Amino acid sequence: MYSIAIDGPAGAGKSTIAKTIAKKLEFIYVDTGAMYRAMALYFIRHEIDPKDEEAINKACPDIHVSINYEDGVQQVLLNGENVNGLIRTEEVGNMASKTSAYKMVRATLLDLQRDLAKTANILMDGRDIGTNVLPNADLKIYLTASSKVRAERRYKELVEKGVEADFDKIEEDIIIRDRQDMEREIAPLKQAEDAVLVDSSDMTIEEVVDAIVAEFEKVK
């Protein structure tokens, strides 16, 4: 069984690229960010202050995250409820970034993530997959892009959806999120020593996909 880990900051295009590669290689795609987002949704619904670690710790045993697949698309269940349609907001993303720093939150998801890798060929993306969740992954990729390029992509995405967007605010949010993810004590975002660095700033999606598939061919 093979496992591929793709880590990197918010907005680097991880999920688009990971989905495409998983399809190409016929691997199962596991989006771990969605799991942190499902936990964040629980904290929001229960009006738990993200700064209150004690309250977060108390809530964790009541949170059960699981996933299943519908037509090959990952669905995240929060205590049995499919929350896929509710977790893609900035509010949930910010809550996930803050609360994913806590030990209990990470411990709640770690076994689920590791167990998934035991069942099939998987491609898992997140922040700490190569460094922490799957340290023995067959291939580790650290996918990044400059904050400016990431903000431009996000801005374009919103404008295309007809949503009003402020470029500077988007870039500022990206920089804050990077800092939170990179500077936390537990499982911070960083490139694993044995990860291949892919900077997608000046690459198309197809070029990134081809580069990662070529890396996989080398280790297969």
Whole-angstrom distance, CA of residue 61 vs CA of residue 49: 17
Point out which residues pair with 70 in neighbouring strands.
Answer: 73
Ligand-binding annotation for 135, yes or no, is: no
Give the residue with the Cβ less far from ligand C5P, 81 or 90: 90
Are 126 and 142 spatial neighbours (Cβ–Cβ below 8 Å)? no
Are 208 and 200 spatial neighbours (Cβ–Cβ below 8 Å)? yes
Are 15 and 124 spatial neighbours (Cβ–Cβ below 8 Å)? no
Min. distance of Cβ 166 from ligand C5P in angstroms? Answer: 19
Ligand-binding annotation for 11, yes or no, is: yes
Ligand-binding annotation for 40, yes or no, is: no
Q: Which helix (H) or strand (E) holds 193?
A: none
Min. distance of Cβ 217 from ligand C5P in angstroms? Answer: 25
Ligand-binding annotation for 12, yes or no, is: yes
Are 140 and 192 spatial neighbours (Cβ–Cβ below 8 Å)? yes
Give the residue with the Cβ less far from ligand C5P, 127 or 154: 127
Give the residue with the Cβ less far from ligand C5P, 14 or 27: 14
Ligand-binding annotation for 9, yes or no, is: yes
Are 216 and 139 spatial neighbours (Cβ–Cβ below 8 Å)? yes
Give the residue with the Cβ less far from ligand C5P, 27 or 154: 154
**Which residues contribute to the site for ligand C5P (CB under 6 A)?**
10, 32-33, 36-37, 93, 96-97, 100, 126-129, 177, 181
Annotated binding site: 8-16
Annotated binding site for ATP: 8-16
